[in-house]
Amino acid sequence: MLFFQRNSQDFPNLPAQALRRSLVQHGPEAPWVAPRATRSPYIIWTISSCAGAVVANLSNALTTEVREEDEDDLLYSEEDEDLEQASLQALRGVKDQHQTSAVSPKTEGEEDAGMNTGNSGDARETKKVPAETEESQKELQMRFAELVEQRAVQVQRAATVMLVTQVVLVVIVGLIYAACPRYTPPPEEVRQQRGQDFQYGLCEGCSRSRICCCSFWCLPLRWAETASSVNFFGCNGPTFLLGFFIFELLIVLAKLPGVVILYLNYETESLPYFAWTCAAIVFSLALLVMQVLHRRYIRQRYGMENDTCGTCCCDCLVWIFCGCCAAMQEALQVEYVGEPVKTVGEVRGEVVAAVVAVQDGAYGAKSSGWNAGLIISNKSSSHFFSPRICHIPAHILSEPQYGDEFDEEEGDYMELDGPPPEVLDGWEKDEMAMALLANFQSEEFEGKKVMSFRDVAMLLEVLGLCLVKRSESPFRKDVDEQQWD
């Protein structure tokens, strides 16, 4: 039995042999959705290498100027050290003289003798030492302040350049990555969802260089790819760039306050300093909340435990302490684990068997926009047609409007797809079913990718079959229920 996929554009033709092998492994009572396509690993390696080379060249250019300034500062600091040592020795000598005079005061005769022997010049010289020491200290303080200011400017410049460079490189890599082709993971590597937890561990992605390198070197890109695969944002069409820019924007907003704080003086600008610190905390928490909600969404989509305090705390801790490993685990779950579907009806005939199934897709289980699919498998040994996944978007399942015009001269309907179901009496069911399925496999049908409401009704009417469990049907209420009796 072939099971439909969430996005029919990703896998219009999945190998029947691989799907039959999966049914042998997991049994017919365990339906699953084929794995999603991902970007080519060779292109990822190329992009990563180019980005690494650009970063290395920029870092070399920046550190060259800093290294020259550091050499000047080193010579400057040696001169300051010599001057500081001389000043300390002078201060130490003056202090010892004051202590000696305080411990053993001179008598009047000694003072007179000293005056008579001409020691008045030495006394004047000792009084000049403190003045020279104060001047040297002021000079040292001024030079030290200049050195600190130069260091602060270097740190500000380096932080600003690093942030801007990171944003530009990540955006360029993301745009190139979005234009890369996709490939299908090997079917033999696909696992089926079992239990209430992720099928891969946090570190199992290290053995897959494609996912590991992308998670550690460009986390926004890897997270956006996973979020786009499960349609986390609930938008129609590809959402990779949307998730990529939202993730990168939150990262920039979380890091920007740290760069701005480097330009502030905490002693004179304490209020802006505190405000920017709070802004960094707020944006960091917003990024963490989005990551945890995405992880919880994957849990819910694969039927895992997702609404308990334990799982919420576990997801928060995983993203706080090992965000790259969390991104790897989510990517493995989405790309290499089959997604469960719910079978709501089954029809069988002499030639083919079909299953109508729904999937709790990106729009939520309580929404009317469930993804429904008609799954067709070949019951005969004929190789006239091969099984194919046929996906029925919910918006197509509306009030049937065939639009066929009966040509009275030719006595036939003008549409190539065949007449509507109500005039099928007298047609050979097997031949009609084979022709209908062959039409689905024809080259003219390649651009269609989906079965319309009329195609489904025709096939069911041709086979003379009916749906079971009609109360659980995912189709809209305005559909004529007589078509499904």
To the nearest whole number, what is the mean pLDDT of the chain? 61
Of the three residues 338, 356, 377, the one that is the final residue of a domain is 338
Residue 269 within a domain: yes
- Domain check: are 223 and 304 in the same one? yes
Residue 315 within a domain: yes
Residue 134 within a domain: no
- Domain check: are 416 and 326 in the same one? no
- What is the per-residue pLDDT across 202-221, written as a single tens digit (0 to 9) for each? 888 888 888 888 888 889 98
Q: What is the pLDDT of residue 99?
A: 53
Residue type present at position 163: L
Residue 312 clears pLDDT 50, i.e. is over it: yes
Supply the pTM of this predicted model. 0.52
Of the three residues 338, 372, 401, the one that is the final residue of a domain is 338
- Domain check: are 203 and 325 in the same one? yes
- Domain check: are 322 and 346 in the same one? no
Residue 215 within a domain: yes
Q: What is the pLDDT of residue 315?
A: 92
- What is the per-residue pLDDT across 295-304, written as a single tens digit (0 to 9) for each? 999 988 887 8
Residue 60 within a domain: no
Residue 266 clears pLDDT 50, i.e. is over it: yes
Residue 350 within a domain: yes
Structural domain count of the chain: 2
Q: What is the pLDDT of residue 474?
A: 36
φ and ψ of 389, to 5 deg = -80, 125
Burial readout 404-422 (b: 16 or more C-beta within 10 A, e: otherwise)? beeeeeeeebeeebbbbbe
- Domain check: are 386 and 416 in the same one? yes
> Which residue would you say has higher pLDDT here, 56 or 214?
214
Most confident of the following: 44-53, 84-93, 150-159, 395-404: 150-159
Residue among 205, 82, 208, 76 at smallest CA distance from 143: 76
Residue among 481, 482, 472 at smallest CA distance from 344: 472
Most confident of the following: 109-123, 156-170, 273-287, 370-384: 273-287
- Domain check: are 370 and 455 in the same one? yes
- Domain check: are 327 and 351 in the same one? no
Q: What is the pLDDT of residue 340?
A: 60
Determine which of 16-30, 253-267, 283-297, 453-467 has the lowest per-residue pLDDT on average: 16-30
Of the three residues 338, 356, 374, the one that is the final residue of a domain is 338
Question: In sequence order, which residues have a C-beta less than 8 Å from that of residue 288 and are 6 or more positions away?
Answer: 316, 319, 320
Q: What is the pLDDT of residue 433?
A: 53
Burial readout 375-403 (b: 16 or more C-beta within 10 A, e: otherwise)? bbbbeeeeeebebbbbbbebeebeebebe
- Residue 339 DSSP code: B
Q: How far apart are CA 16 and CA 10, in angstroms?
A: 16
Most confident of the following: 24-28, 178-182, 231-235, 475-479: 231-235
- What is the per-residue pLDDT across 183-203, written as a single tens digit (0 to 9) for each? 566 666 777 666 778 888 888
- Domain check: are 430 and 450 in the same one? yes
Domain that holds residue 458: 16-33+342-484
Residue 1 within a domain: no
Residue 123 clears pLDDT 50, i.e. is over it: no
Residue 313 within a domain: yes
- Domain check: are 375 and 480 in the same one? yes
Residue 478 clears pLDDT 50, i.e. is over it: no
Q: What is the pLDDT of residue 14?
A: 32
- Domain check: are 332 and 413 in the same one? no
For the segment 30-50, the average pLDDT, to the nearest whole number, is 49
Q: What percent of the chain has pLDDT over 90?
A: 8
Question: In sequence order, which residues have a C-beta less than 8 Å from that of residue 357 and are 6 or more positions away?
Answer: 3, 4, 31, 341, 342, 343, 344, 372, 373, 375
Q: What is the pLDDT of residue 290?
A: 94
Q: What percent of the chain has pLDDT over 70?
A: 38
Query: pLDDT confidence of 65, banded at 50, 70, 90?
Result: low
Query: pLDDT confidence of 379, banded at 50, 70, 90?
Result: very low
For the segment 36-43, the average pLDDT, to the nearest whole number, is 50
- Domain check: are 320 and 349 in the same one? no
- Domain check: are 315 and 352 in the same one? no
Strands 388-392 and 352-359 turn out to be unpaired
